[in-house]
Amino acid sequence: MLNLLRCGTAVICLLAVVAPIHSAVADGLLPQSCASRDLAIFSLIEKLGEAQSRQPSMLGDAFTDVLDARRICREGHADEALAIYNRIGAQLIDDERWATSHSDP
């Protein structure tokens, strides 16, 4: 029962994040590159939270940084936002491969 509750909560949280992102991309408020990275980082935060493999405070800080990156991207500074997303990913997985595997061509 607890797993079903967790799953339902995760789905609701995912929809609460994904729907606004898709809307922002469709309205031209958020570049696709930022939206893709945003979803990748959010999925990583969710996965690490479910696995309880990181401290909740670390995941909370990462989510706050995601919101900052999203704002910066909306303000027209996509390169700066992508660097923030890369930093978040590298910190969460403690691996510099995140930045190189998620770099833009």
**What backbone torsions phi and psi does residue 83 show, to the nearest 5 degrees?**
-65, -40
pLDDT confidence of 4, banded at 50, 70, 90? Answer: very low
| Cα(37)–Cα(45) distance, integer angstroms | 12
What confidence tens digit (pLDDT) does each residue in 76-90 have? 999 999 999 999 999
Please, are residues 41 and 85 in contact by the beta-carbon 8 Å criterion? yes
**What backbone torsions phi and psi does residue 104 show, to the nearest 5 degrees?**
-80, 145
Instruction: Return the pLDDT at 76.
Output: 92
- The answer to whether residue 12 scores a pLDDT higher than 60 is no
**Quick one: what percent of the chain has pLDDT higher than 90?**
39
